[in-house]
Amino acid sequence: MDKNTEYFHERQRACMEADLKETVGELRRLLDVNGQRHPDAQVPTLTECVADEDRFIAVNGSAHRMYEPFVKFFRKRPEFRQVVQRALDDTYNV
């Protein structure tokens, strides 16, 4: 199979997308299982994942150390700034 064909690249992209969705699903499952364990048996974690169908947000780290990752994220994906600002305003009735 010619690796320079559009078909090859589309198949490669589809496989990667499926792998990413599977990985997120596994993360969600592990966090759910951990959350359902007896408090004494839960593994302390700074990882949080919130999902809705095929959309998700995942963070890993203590809040006071997330400033730089958020700055990098918003520089890379500036379209999310307005969405996050609106969510904050709605959540805190600003």
Q: Which band of pLDDT confidence, cut at 50, 70 and 90, is reported for residue 78?
A: very high
Report the alpha-carbon distance of residue 54 to residue 61 in Å, rounded.
23
The gap between the terminal CA atoms of the chain, to the nearest Å, is: 56
pTM score: 0.70
Mean pLDDT, all residues of the chain = 91
pLDDT at residue 42 in the model:
93
pLDDT at residue 2 in the model:
66
Q: Is 5 helix (H, G, I), strand (E, B) or coil?
A: coil
